[in-house]
Structure 1
Amino acid sequence: MTDSPLSRGGKRERLVAGAADLLHRKGIAATTLADIAQVAGVPPGNVYYYFKTKDDLVKAVVDTQAGQVTALLTELDALPRPAERLKALVRRWEAMREVIARHGCPIGTLATELDRRDDGLDTDGAQPIRQILDWVGTQIRLLGARNARQLAISLFAGIQGGALLANALRDPAVMTGQVRHLERWIDTLAADGRS
């Protein structure tokens, strides 16, 4: 037995984990509730007990992503210096480089797909990104930079751009190269802050 989110937890948790996986790999339009039920090991009729619509399940995936981002940022806050925290953040994308090369960034691809809508899920889908940008901005301010928001956007654009290119080229090394570049850039920010 594996220890994946799909092999543990209750039916609702398995449905959300299955939906997150399928939405990332196949996209919203190509993913059916029956597909999600099958991956989660839940009878198809039971899906409606937990989620009235596919959009309700998509919202649960976004909420789960936001919770995962909160947990990650809390974990990173335990590191002693802002530059270390920022480097640890960008290394998370390197750790996912194989998945990113095949399917893109889970956060970025879902946010991009939801952005095409105008029903509230478009703004919900951007919540994990807003969380990361706010946190990165705080870390950059702690380094002494004045234009922290713009620098936070630059850092996250570097992550997402690397993810997009790694996915388009199906080349995980692109993500690794971009992470190394961002680590050097963070060192430059830290050095400038000490001047």
Structure 2
Amino acid sequence: MTNSTDSPARTGRAAGKRERLMAAAAQVLYEQGVERTTIADIARAADVPVGNVYYYFKTKDELVEAALSEHTTHLKALTDRLDQLPDPRERLKGLVEAWVGQRDTAARYGCPAGTLAVELGKRTDGGLDPAVGHVIRRLLAWVEQQYRRMGLADPEGLALTLVGAYQGMSLLSNALRDPEIMTREGARLTRWLDTLT
């Protein structure tokens, strides 16, 4: 006798709902912010009944963690793709190009991890601060690794400079609702990368 809840079709649907909820959480929290987003908003975006959300995620904070996990997954996919390029300088330039490619979204909402970091940093419980920091640290570590492969001095400082420039151009683009800030500053970063020896 088998348990019908363990059937492959049912398991696949459950995994699909969880994945849809994670993707919806990442998108809706990014667009609306943590405080303005309700579990119902995420359920609606995932096309999942609200009551089903609690089967996968007991609290809104668990959905925030799921969104951060999605951001980590997206970052890993991007860096994996960039790692296929043979030259670390070209990888960094590809990263800048990817950032600029998101200029319209950045102008509207800012950087996904950066905006969550700022919002969660204002909460008094501080419970999710390390989780959002993990996403940014992962990016910093990858960028630092590229500078190390280039044989440059102070790869950690250079990584902070590049990621900080991205956060700044995302913030300004968002604050001024001007995607061309990302275009101009991205071109400046690309030229800067070409000067590093």
**TM-score, normalised with respect to structure 1:** 0.90
What is the match of residue 121 of structure 2?
115
Q: Which amino acid aligns with 1:107?
A: A
1:71 aligns with 2:47: no
Structure 2 match to 1:99: 105
- Residue 44 of structure 1 and its aligned partner are, at CA, apart by 0.7
Whether the 8 Å contact between 2:39 and 2:60 is mirrored in structure 1 is yes
Amino acid of the structure 1 residue aligned with 2:19: E
Write the deviation string for residues 117-139 of structure 1: whole angstroms up to 9, x where unpaired: 34431010111110111111111
What letter matches 1:84 in structure 2?
E
User: 2: distance between equivalents of 1:62 and 1:21?
Assistant: 11
The question of whether the paired residues in 2 share the 8 Å contact of 1:82 and 1:140 is answered with yes
Structure 2 distance, partners of 1:101, 1:131, is: 23
Report the equivalent of 1:56: 62
Paired with 2:145 and 2:24, the residues of 1 have a C-alpha distance of: 33
Corresponding position of 1:166: 173
Please give the secondary structure, in 1, of the residue aligned with 2:100. Answer: helix
Are the equivalent residues in 2 in contact too, given 1:115–1:125 (CA < 8 A)?
no
CA distance in 2, matches of 1:107, 1:139: 21
Match of 2:5 in 1: none
Provide the secondary structure at the position in 1 that maps to 2:175.
helix
Larger mean Cα displacement after TM superposition, 50-59 or 64-73: 64-73
**Which secondary structure state, in structure 2, belongs to the residue aligned with residue 79 of structure 1?**
coil
Amino acid at match of 1:69: L
Indicate the RMSD between aligned Cα atoms, in angstroms: 1.2
- The 2-side partners of 1:110 and 1:119 are apart by 12
Q: 1:5: which partner in 2?
A: none
Distance in 1, matches of 2:147 and 2:51, equals: 48
Give the corresponding residue for 2:151.
144
C-alpha separation in 2, matches of 1:161 and 1:179: 11
| Contact map agreement 1:15 1:36 (CA 8 A) in 2 | yes
Cα deviation digits, residues 81-120 of structure 1 (max 9, x gap) = 0110000011111111001001111121112212223443
| Structure 2 unaligned blocks of 5 or more | 1-14
Structure-2 separation of matches of 1:128 and 1:178: 23
Structure 1 gap segments, 5+ residues each: 1-8
Residue 143 of structure 1, CA deviation? 1.5
Match of 2:139 in 1: 132
Which structure has the greater CA radius of gyration? 2
Which residue of structure 2 aligns with residue 185 of structure 1?
192
Structure 1 runs of 4+ off > 6 angstroms? none
In structure 2, the residue matched to 1:3 is none
SS at match of 1:126: helix
- Amino acid of the residue matched to residue 27 of structure 1? G
Q: Distance in 1 between matches of 2:81 and 2:99?
A: 16
